[in-house]
């Protein structure tokens, strides 16, 4: 079936709509959507129906994209025609406000420019010192034979690091309370992602009340950060100093939104990357042995440079981000109709660009379900289509913290592996559930040897 052309969009009426699996005439794919594990279902749909698949869920048109060329067009070459989806905003704006992840247009541009200096390569050595000192403290609290919940340990560590590195605050005492608040917040999004039932937050369901309380804890911590900068209690130059000095000044709400955004975006994802990497190394002792000897051979004084140049570590992290991308999907809405993969994509539909699906596509990755870090040779990277691997997205809205994240993940991993070997205790196969990010369904328990 072909929809009538919108004469202003320049997309001809002969351009077909994307294929769509059989659906109920009234409710479309809503029923299937609610029942399935979205990650598995999307993978199956792309295998059966191709790179562009149209679904109708709760009256909304959702288009799944799994072709690198189309993904590049949306994120890079025709990015000006795409904005963040309104559903994403409806669900996450009580947390992220109008911070960088959700902002659009001139406001996004101005804020991105304002925050970029904090992520300049020159800032990385200072951040590396903080990453090292927090990781050392954690290592000192562990002993050989301990069994740890890797995700929990990594989330607490990366939260302390981001709060210290970007905002100059020591959360050692508060990391647990704030960590619990973040857990509640994520549980809220996990439930929405799994049931796709969104009850407005003013309805006082027990779940909404828990979520609001967690937000209050987070807001209080953010206010303390801003106040401590205003009163000079935190004298060091931090991201908040940039915000306070910014031309024209940023309003209190704008600062709140950016601080929360950086706290959320800046700790959870990296902790997940480390958790999945730990799991994969526990499952693959041969790879773990090779990367462990590589990092144990590094000179302690030059560890930051050593880690940056360590090929084994780089490949392990790349491969882990391929198999278990902490961000499993990116959502965009076309402003005007576009053509992707030869199909008409109407304005207002929700496009889902799934790292989870594309990173496991055997057209781009041999034996895609296997953890094979040594696939990441220079030749392989040169031959890979740009849109086939995008753990940090691409184009102007590429992750602002990618450099920080890679430095942090590699340094933490190297420091742990220099002291301990991971033994997987939980023999449950890894299952993931989509929330705001890709979450392991069960705790990943590791014995430190
Ligand atoms: C392994 C760790 C990380 C992964 C996989 C990751 C992934 C991503 C992805 C896929 C996006 C694009 C989302 C979209 O367009 O819908 C994004 C955006 C963003 N990330 Fe990250 N991220 C990571 C770590 C970090 C860190 C450490 C920070 C900050 C310290 C950070 C800050 C941001 C910000 C501010 C944006 C919004 C950028 C914009 O729209 O201009 N991320 N990230």
Is 42 a residue whose pLDDT tops 70?
Answer: yes
Does the CB atom of residue 400 touch ligand 1 within 6 A? yes
Does the CB atom of residue 407 touch ligand 1 within 6 A? no
Structural domain range at position 262: 30-448
Going by pLDDT thresholds of 50, 70 and 90, the confidence category of residue 232 is: confident
Q: CA 268 to CA 183: how far, in whole Å?
A: 10
- Alpha-helical (H) ranges within 329-445 are 355-358, 378-383, 402-419
In a domain, residue 341? The reply is: yes
Higher-confidence residue of 54 and 205: namely: 54
What percentage of residues in the chain have a pLDDT greater than 90?
54
In a domain, residue 272? The reply is: yes
Does the CB atom of residue 165 touch ligand 1 within 6 A? no
- Give a three-class secondary structure readout of 54-117: EEEECCEEEEEECCHHHHHHHHHHCHHHEECCHHHHHHHHHHHCCCCCCCCHHHHHHHHHHHHH
In a domain, residue 11? The reply is: no
Domain count, the chain: 1
Higher-confidence residue of 202 and 153: namely: 153
Nearest CA to ligand 1 atom 14: 330
The predicted-structure confidence for 324-340, as pLDDT tens digits, reads as follows: 999 999 999 999 999 99
- Hey, CA dihedral for 176, 180, 185, 191, is it positive or negative? positive
Is 27 a residue whose pLDDT tops 80?
Answer: no
Spatial CA neighbour of 70 closest among 321, 323, 343, 335 = 343
Give the pLDDT of residue 197: 53
Q: Could you tell me how far CA 45 lies from the centroid of its own chain?
A: 23
The predicted-structure confidence for 251-279, as pLDDT tens digits, reads as follows: 888 888 889 899 888 899 999 999 999 99
- Alpha-helical (H) ranges within 284-401 are 285-296, 303-309, 311-323, 355-358, 378-383
Look up tokens 């849109």; give the residue: 387
Higher-confidence residue of 72 and 260: namely: 72
For residue 272, the ligand 1 atom closest to its alpha carbon is 1
SS3 43: helix
Does the CB atom of residue 397 touch ligand 1 within 6 A? yes
The predicted-structure confidence for 371-416, as pLDDT tens digits, reads as follows: 999 999 999 999 999 899 999 999 999 999 999 999 999 999 999 9
What is the CA(45)–ligand 1 centre distance, in A? 27
Among 28-32, 147-151, 226-230, 313-317, the range scoring the smallest mean pLDDT is 28-32
In a domain, residue 12? The reply is: no
The whole-number average pLDDT for the span 52-66 is 89
The whole-number average pLDDT for the span 422-440 is 86
Tokens of 277: 């990497």
Dmax over CA atoms of the chain, in Å, equals 68
The predicted-structure confidence for 155-198, as pLDDT tens digits, reads as follows: 989 989 998 999 888 876 665 677 777 777 777 776 666 555 55
Does the CB atom of residue 100 touch ligand 1 within 6 A? yes
DSSP conformational letter for 442: S
Does the CB atom of residue 391 touch ligand 1 within 6 A? yes
Does the CB atom of residue 339 touch ligand 1 within 6 A? no
Where residue 175 sits, what CATH number does that domain have?
1.10.630.10
Contacts 24+ apart (CB under 8 A), 179-183: 179/152, 179/155, 180/214, 180/217, 181/213, 181/214, 181/215, 181/217, 181/218, 182/155, 182/214, 182/218, 182/264, 182/267, 182/268
Give the pLDDT of residue 1: 36
In a domain, residue 168? The reply is: yes
What is the CA(173)–ligand 1 centre distance, in A? 27
Q: CA 253 to CA 259: how far, in whole Å?
A: 10
Average pLDDT score, the chain: 88
Does the CB atom of residue 404 touch ligand 1 within 6 A? yes
């Amino acid at each position: 079936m072909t929809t009538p052309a919108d004469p202003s969009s320049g997309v001809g009426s002969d351009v077909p709509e994307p294929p769509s699996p059989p659906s109920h005439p009234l409710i479309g794919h809503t029923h299937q959507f609610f029942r399935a594990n979205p990650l598995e279902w999307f993978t199956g749909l792309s295998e059966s129906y191709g790179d562009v698949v149209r679904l109708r869920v709760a009256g909304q048109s959702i288009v799944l994209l799994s072709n690198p060329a189309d993904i590049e067009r949306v994120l890079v070459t025709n990015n000006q025609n795409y904005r963040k989806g309104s559903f994403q905003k409806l669900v996450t704006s009580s947390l992220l406000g109008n911070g960088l992840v959700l902002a659009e247009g001139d406001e996004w541009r101005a804020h991105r420019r304002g925050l970029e200096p904090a992520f300049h390569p020159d800032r990385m050595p200072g951040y590396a010192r903080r990453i090292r000192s927090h990781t050392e403290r954690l290592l000192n609290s562990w002993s050989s034979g301990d069994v740890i919940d890797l995700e929990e340990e990594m989330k607490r560590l990366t939260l302390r690091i981001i709060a210290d590195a970007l905002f100059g605050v020591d959360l050692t005492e508060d990391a647990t309370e704030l960590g619990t608040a973040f857990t509640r917040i994520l549980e809220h999004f996990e439930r929405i992602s799994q049931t796709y039932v969104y009850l407005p937050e003013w309805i006082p369901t027990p779940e909404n009340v828990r979520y609001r309380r967690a937000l209050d804890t987070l807001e209080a911590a953010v206010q303390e950060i801003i106040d401590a900068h205003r009163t000079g209690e935190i004298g060091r130059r931090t991201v908040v100093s940039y915000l306070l000095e910014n031309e024209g000044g940023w309003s209190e709400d704008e600062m709140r939104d950016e601080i929360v955004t950086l706290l959320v975006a800046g700790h959870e994802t990296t902790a997940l990357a480390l958790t999945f990497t730990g799991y994969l190394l526990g499952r693959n002792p041969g790879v773990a042995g090779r990367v462990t000897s590589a990092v144990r051979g590094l000179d302690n004084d030059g560890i930051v440079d050593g880690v940056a140049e360590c090929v084994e570590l780089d490949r392990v992290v790349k491969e882990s981000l391929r198999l278990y991308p902490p961000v499993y999907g990116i959502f965009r809405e076309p402003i005007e109709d576009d053509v992707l993969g030869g199909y008409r994509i109407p304005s207002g539909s929700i496009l889902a660009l799934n790292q989870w699906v594309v990173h496991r596509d055997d057209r781009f990755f041999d034996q895609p379900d296997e953890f094979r870090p040594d696939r990441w040779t220079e030749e392989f990277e040169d031959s890979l289509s740009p849109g086939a691997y995008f753990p940090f997205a691409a184009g102007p809205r590429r992750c602002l913290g990618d450099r920080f994240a890679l430095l942090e993940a590699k340094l933490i991993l190297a420091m742990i592996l220099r002291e301990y070997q991971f033994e997987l205790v939980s023999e449950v196969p890894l299952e993931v559930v989509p929330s705001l990010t890709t979450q392991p369904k069960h705790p990943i328990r590791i014995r430190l040897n």
